[in-house]
A and B are shown apart, each in its own frame.
Chain A
């Protein structure tokens, strides 16, 4: 079961601003979902390896060679703000 008020911490980790009423509701939702999925804890899965692979059971990597890629102009075409080939973003502020 989720402990008290987990949503503010998770929202900070996930870079999500939530309104106060929204956070309360998400707190309730997460609590009920996590309570439901806790059924998995009751299963004996000793000796079962986690399925951390996709179907086929093998990892496929393509050769590490240069290939075609998007032109900068295309890739940045929907950016909120830019200057030529650079994105313009708000400044970073150091923690006090």
Chain B
């Protein structure tokens, strides 16, 4: 499939126009969208916007200029409905756009539509959308992963060259692995969260879904950097990521922690990781032993910390300010009815779980212990990154599962994120790159690097992409 950079080349050589790219995208969407359901909103004025971009195309236009993209529907878009795939925001039209969206717009990128997700980004299959599930383009009987499932489908099905997603526990990397594209989660603080509808603020981060690693570098460079609207965005200058990739990966040190390829990981996926490790060594990377013994507890800590933050963040949705209100005898009854009718099952589950672990008598037992575990994970990663530049692991324990197989079993669903969650808890950058498929289904290979070392991560990822191809 054509990369973003190839499309940019065609535009530069006047072999294509933004208008022709938009028409091609709408044709592809028309052919398959009824089966895949990747979008919640398509922008009807994208054709006019493309014509305007073609008319106004400047000399030396950047690599994103005039190219359509999709954005997960928990990213605020001024004047365009933004639902977070929830009934409680079904008609919400934001008065401003997320900083990441603003930055793409400023570089001439063209928003084609808003993609489906698990409600408020809580889920691993996109089955928890109030507007119905998305389907995996490789095998439509299977889930595309989640929560950024719609964005992964849009990229893997050929609808758009790239898409924005968001991560709290693996919601970009996991669907990328299931759909066979590249999913990048930047370090916490690398990309402004302003205008991303909050799920768990200490974990949330906007990420990219692309068709190769270099495209991820291009999009990351466009959205990264300090933003005065987000005090957790970092001051550090944004490196030249494509320049970093051009240095090659020879001499980089990597480790394959045993804790990520043990029990619960499908043998074919484990074998693919070990094959990739051998190939990287053959390319001149150095392999070192790494231990991360607290990894098995990361999932437990995550399902305490993330719901705790979610229960607080979602308190604002009460039927008064943002959307439909259910009537009640008084204010309190109206709150309860609006939230009871507006939220789906998984969101309610997490709000109640978060309320429990933060309540008097349980805070120390659950929440504080989870935060101590988080500190231990950070210490372990910090020690590991003194010895290696990147860690190589599977992205997911299994390939894409069948639609309906886990939707009634929350613990089984949560296991899909077991290998991606540690990077979120520790604020690392991480990426999923397609490996060799297993029984026709995509397999994701994950690389993780120290916070703010996307340059190293992308160098290794580009090498990995090349050797496993």
Contacts and interface: CB of A to CB of B under 8 A. Distances in A.
Interface in A29-77: 29-30, 32-34, 36-37, 39-41, 43, 45, 48-52, 54-56, 60-62, 70, 74-77
Contact of A80 (B93, B319, B328, B341): B319
Question: Which has the most chain A C-beta neighbours within 10 Å: B93, B187, B300, B315?
Answer: B300
Contacts of B370: 37, 40
Contact of A51 (B187, B294, B329, B371): B371
A89 interface: yes
A50 B371 contact: yes
Interface string A1-40: 0100011001101111111001001100110111011011
Could you tell me the dominant secondary structure of chain A's interface residues? loop
B345 A22 contact: yes
Contacts of A56: 189, 232, 234, 427, 451
A7 B352 contact: yes
Given A37-B303, A55-B451, A78-B323, A11 B352 contact: yes
Contacts of A14: 311, 339, 351-352, 355
B417 to A, nearest CB: 14
A33 B411 contact: yes
Interface SS, B side: helix
A17 B337 contact: yes
A93 B329 contact: yes
B348 A26 contact: yes
Give the bracket for the number of chain B residues in contact with chain A: 35 or more
Nearest to A59: B231
Interface residues of A, number: 53
A96 interface: no
B356 interface: yes
A6 B352 CA distance: 9
Interface of B: 91-93, 95-96, 187-189, 202, 228, 231-232, 234, 294, 297, 300-301, 303-304, 311, 315, 318-325, 327-337, 339-341, 343, 345, 348-349, 351-353, 355-356, 359, 365-366, 368-376, 378, 410-411, 426-427, 451
10 contacts: A17-B337, A37-B366, A43-B297, A49-B375, A55-B426, A61-B231, A78-B322, A89-B331, A89-B334, A90-B327
Given A26-B345, A76-B321, 5 more contacts: A36-B300, A55-B187, A74-B96, A78-B321, A90-B331
